[in-house]
Amino acid sequence: MSAPNESLDPKSNPPVDTPEQLEGGTGQDQAQETELQAQEDWATLLSEAQEKVALYHDELLRAKADVENIRRRAADDVAKARKFGTESFAESLIPVRDSLEAALAQTGQTAESWKDGVEVTLRQLNAAFERNLLREVAPVPGDIFDPHRHQAISTVPSDLPEDTVAQLLQKGYTIADRVLRPALVMVSAGKSAQES
């Protein structure tokens, strides 16, 4: 009878593993496996994130280089435009100079032939102006005063309505709608100023 009592003594008999413990290992082993799996997952995520960062950094450097190249090309284009922007206009003026020099080289000309030569040269100059969008601003008396294209020297009493051009003193010029030189004009003060 002593044998059954011995089996009841927990110290004398080591614990027996349950079937669940035998199949899956202890709970501690499962926790370690889960932790290892989580570490592997984090390592994979970290590796993927580092690859993306490297890719984005490379793309950033390439974009920065592209922007710098575009900026440099634009600066070169602006410098060339400033340097050679008047080339077309200069080419248009060369025949005008040739005509003037030819006229001065001629001796014994009559006043009429000089006048004809000057008129031909003026036509050449006007053609050069037209090709290069250089246009004159020449308001006639009665035109409305435009402070963007005209410069008033003074106001004068006149039969013309107030704030209109009374007299043109000097033509102005525009190039592609930009004023190079405003037309110098005298502006009408109106009839009331004339009566007083």
Segment 66-95 mean pLDDT: 89
Q: What's the pLDDT tens digit per position in 16-72? A: 555 555 555 567 888 888 888 888 889 899 999 999 999 999 999 999 999 999 999
Per the CB < 8 A criterion, the answer to whether 134 and 98 are in contact is: no
- Compute the distance between CA of residue 154 and CA of residue 189 in angstroms, rounded to an integer: 9
Alpha helices (H) in 85-157, listed in sequence order: 87-105, 111-131
100 class by beta-carbon count within 10 Å (0-12 exposed, 13-18 middle, 19+ buried): middle
Q: What is the dihedral of CA 35, 37, 42, 45, to 10 degrees?
A: -170
Whole-structure pTM value: 0.56
Residues 6+ apart with CB under 8 A from 171: 136, 137, 138, 183
Phi, psi of 190 (to 5 degrees): 95, 175
The class that CATH gives domain 134-195 is mainly beta
Please check the confidence at residue 2 and state whether its pLDDT lies above 50.
no
Segment 115-143 mean pLDDT: 92
Domain spans in the chain, listed from the N-terminal domain onward: 34-84, 134-195
